[in-house]
Structure 1
Amino acid sequence: MEINDLTAAEQQVRRAFATGAAVEFRAGDDEDAAQGAHWGPERTVRATVVRALLLNGPQEPGEIAALKLSGARITGVLDLRYGTTEFAVRLSHCHFDEVPLLYGARFRQLNLSDSVLPGLFAATVHVDGVLRFTGCRFEGTARLGGAHISGALFLDGARFSAGDGPDGAADGALHLNHVSIGDDLWAPGLQADGEVRLNSAEVAGSIRLNDARLSSPGGPALDAETLTVHGDVLMRNLRCHGWIGLRGARVEGRLELSHAHLSNPGDTALRASSCTLGELWLRKSPPIQGVLNLRRAQIEVLFLEPEVLPTEVLLTDLVYTSLTPHVPADRRLPMLERDGDGYVPHAYEQLATSYRRIGDDHAARLVQLAKQRRLRTTRSWYGRIWGYVQDATVGYGFRPLRAAVWLLSLLAVGSIAYALHHPHALKASEAPDFNPVFYTLDLLLPVISFGQEGAFAPDGWYQYLSYTLIITGWILATTVVTGVTRTVSRQ
């Protein structure tokens, strides 16, 4: 491009570029870049001029050239595909008429803060420093898949809207799949109307999505499958309509969803299956609207308040080391009863183990008892009957004092009955003195013998009472042995 082709605004930008000086076209700090389509030639710069400066701009000896432009209207397509620029680039509060094409380009630093763009095509872009989109508004899809950013990525206060893909269907709002970020992904207050893709991305620092608003009703609002984060993922006060997908993700620090509102009725709201998390915080939030999927997840610390749980959860093979806050077992058990996979023994064992780990053996026994009762519902009719017997007598071995109550009650009934009506002796000359207490014990205890049962024989309805005591004694002994065996095997 010839020098004499430049407009007055472009000449000003060219002169400032050589020394790295800033060019300010804004009429005021409150000016809205969304109105940039109406800005006149006095603040319009062609994209071809910007491209020429970034690829082969003039430099003055002893100065550091840079493009620092604010409040300009960029017309035409800024095409820097596969290009490399050694200069810092700041195009803030600018209005782009066309989608910039930055595929495969390499920048030292790129700052588009508070600018308005119809979209962005910057897949596989390389930024050796910081990439900043603070306060930007994208009216179409921003594509950054496969980007490599050595520093941090700033998306705080940015707004993204879904654009159309090649087939005319919605193509999501923000593509960050397979990106590599050498520092934090800083995005508090981000707003996205459409899918945000973070699948297979790697972040060396933390992801901050506090106060973000994600909307993709019935679809993926945040798809972060196989995401790797070496720090934390903070989504405090998040508002999400649509599902969040974290299947196979690995977060070494904390995944926090405190004060978050997750809504995807009729489908999964949070998919965290097969992920590995240092901590998962679900607290101080209204109940999740949708399914919570934690199948096969491995979590060191699960901070889960019962009030946050939705009406359906999926907990098959979930493993956690610590469960907080510490609440009574009856507040945790509804979580297991809402499992959409039905009866999941492992979920009960995990909950019981977490209580035993902190020394709350009573709560652990209640969970184990609830497990046996849930198992009973899956068995045949005769198995359920036997289960009810074990539950009523000794609480499946988790309430051993019940056996003593039953024994003393039956002993009292038998002792009183046979004290009022002595059974006759089979051999009067050889029979010992009759004792109603030990006679009843002989009937109740199937192993121990006091010599009373074989020496006396009741008649009439007392004989049926003896049969009842014998049968009840065998049932009681069998259930006690079953409970003790279960307890010993657990230890």
Structure 2
Amino acid sequence: MDTGQLTADERLVWEAYPLGRAVDFREGPERTVRAEVLRALLLEGPRQEGEVPVLRVAGARITGRLDLQYAEVDAAVHLWACVFDETPDLYGARLRQLNLGESVLPGFDATTLRVDGLLRMSGCRVRGPVRLAGARIAGAVLLDGAELGVVGAAGASEPILALHRATIEGDLGADAGFTAHGLVGIEGATVAGNISFDDAVLSNPGGTALHASTLSGGTNLRAQRLRAEGRVNLLGARIPGQVNFEDAHFSNPGGVALRASGVIAACLWMERAARVDGLVTLRGSQFELLHIAPETWPDHVRLDGLTYDRLGPNAPVERRLEVFERDTDGFVQHAYEQLTAAYRRVGDDAAARTVQLAKQRRHRAVLPPYARAWGYLQDVTVGYGFRPTRAAAWLLSLVLVGTVTFALRQPPALKPDESPEFNALAYTLDLLLPIVDFGQERAYAAAGAYQWFGYALVALGWTLATTIAAGVTRAISRQ
């Protein structure tokens, strides 16, 4: 490039580059540097023996398009707090390091970009899309405090941040007030370190705010105090550590607010998260710990195939059962079995029995009439085998009523000369218990209304014995 055509501001940059010195234009009047000058510096700029060239410019207005398409740049690039008139084009480029922190850009085209170190866009204001699909970043990608898109312009089909199928060997930091007006797409991305959306605001009303399906993380996905307006999609994500939505707010009225189906993670943590406005689906996901309070769940859920080892925080079992009533798939037996298993792991057998009883009652609603009637009978008498004390109470009550009745009105003996002495308690037990025989029923026969009363005891005894046997069988089979 003909250096004789450089402006005074551009000459300062040109002379500072081979020495790695910074040129700061933030004080005083606006300074302008042409993008073509920066391109010439990075591709064929001067070198000085014993010095490491670095492009360090702060506070400049950069005019024209910075075209580094397919370029290989062996110097670090720091364009801090600069204002770009046109969208930089770094498609297929390879850089040593890139720092655009606090800069203002109309967009950023860097699909399949390669960076050997850090990519920093902290505090940037980018009105248009940031395209980093397929990028390979050897260090971290930092977007903390950045704002992408324009308020009210959300809903476009193109992501405002495209990191799909990108590979990041460090952390992905989109936190500290990171704001996106539109779709954030990181589906299929691989991040070796932490993924952070702490205190981020993702706004795409009626659409997808975060598309992170098949995302692969190296440690944790943190989104504490996240504010998401639109769908958050984590379908098939793999996070070896924690998925942390503590104090988060999800809102997508009339649609899916959180889709976390097929997720595999150590923990889903939603401590103090606000009640979700929209559907939550966790179908087929696997967690060691599922930490979500009953009041966080929305009116509609999908939980079929969800598995977990432990459950928190502590809450009455009845509150957790209420959530199953909201499943849009209707009766989902697997959900009850998982909750039962979680309670048994911590030794809370009473809660586990309550869950199993609730499962039987919910299942009863989808049975044919005759099966429902049998179910009601099992429920009232023995609580489907999960309320053994109820069976004892029924038996005791019937024995007491029968004993008092036949003590007041002794039935006549069939063979007075051969009959044993009448015993009201033994006679009642003979009628009531099919396997008991004290010889009283064969020796005495009630008549009239008392005969019908005896028939009722026989019928109730058989029914109670059958339901108890069914309950015992069920209890044994679940061990």
1:277-426 paired onto structure 2 within 5 Å: 277-426=265-414
Say which SS state the counterpart of residue 228 (structure 2) adopts. Answer: strand
2:237 equivalent among 243, 249, 254: 249
Q: Could you say which residue in structure 2 is the equivalent of 1:149?
A: 137
Residue in 2 that maps onto 1:476 = 464
Relative to the length of structure 2, the TM-score reads 0.97
Instruction: Give the AA of the match of 2:293.
Output: E
Unaligned regions of 5+ residues in structure 1, if any? 29-38
1:148 deviates by: 0.3
Give, in angstroms, the shift of residue 162 of structure 1.
6.7
The CA deviation string for residues 96-141 of structure 1, in whole angstroms up to 9 with x for no partner, is: 1111110110010000000000001101000000000000011000
List structure 1 segments (4+ residues) > 2 angstroms apart after TM superposition. none
Equivalent position to 1:194, from 179, 182, 185 = 182
Deviation at 1:287, TM superposition (A): 0.4
C-alpha displacement of 1:454? 1.6
The aligned residue for residue 16 of structure 1 is: 16
User: Residue 131 of structure 2 contacts residue 161 of structure 2 at CA under 8 Å; is this kept in 1?
Assistant: yes
Question: Is residue 2:4 matched to residue 1:4?
Answer: yes
Query: Does structure 1 conserve the Cα–Cα contact (< 8 Å) formed by 2:128 and 2:148?
Result: yes
What residue number does 1:171 align with? Answer: 158
SS in 2 for 1:389: helix
Deviations 1:318-364, CA, capped at 9 Å, x for gaps? 01011112322112111111111110111001001101100111111
SS of the equivalent of 1:78 reads: coil
User: Aligned to 1:459, what secondary structure does the other structure show?
Assistant: coil
Deviation at 1:487, TM superposition (A): 0.5
Cα distance between partner residues in 2 of 1:405 and 1:354: 30
Question: Which shifted more, 426-435 or 406-415?
Answer: 426-435
Q: Unpaired runs of 5+ in structure 2? A: none
Local SS of the residue matching 2:434:
coil
Q: Compute the displacement of 1:66 (Å).
A: 0.9
Q: Paired residue for 1:181?
A: 168
Shift of residue 169 of structure 1? 4.9
Query: In 2, Cα distance between the equivalents of 1:333 and 1:170?
Result: 39
Q: CA separation in 2, counterparts of 1:122 and 1:247?
A: 26
Residues 1:463 and 2:451 aligned together: yes
Give the 3-state SS of the residue equivalent to 1:453 in structure 2.
Answer: helix
Deviation at 1:22, TM superposition (A): 0.5
Q: Secondary structure at the match of 1:285?
A: coil
- What residue is the counterpart of 2:125 in the other structure? 137
CA deviations on 1:10-36 (whole Å, 9 max, x unpaired) are: 1111011121111111127xxxxxxxx
Deviation at 1:170, TM superposition (A): 3.8
Query: 2:459 & 2:268 partners in 1: Cα distance?
Result: 52
Letter in 1 for 2:343: Y
Given the alignment, which residue of 224, 227, 241 partners 2:215? 227
Give me the whole-angstrom Cα distance separating, in 2, the residues matched to 1:187 and 1:171: 19
SS in structure 2 of the partner of residue 413 of structure 1: helix
Aligned to 1:32: none
Q: Counterpart in 1 of 2:88?
A: 100
Separation in 2 of the partners of 1:248 and 1:21? 47
- Matched residue SS, 2:440: coil
Instruction: Provide the secondary structure at the position in 1 that maps to 2:442.
Output: coil
Asked if the contact 2:156–2:182 (Cα under 8 Å) also holds between the matched residues in 1, the reply is: no
SS at match of 1:450: coil
Are the equivalent residues in 2 in contact too, given 1:162–1:195 (CA < 8 A)? no
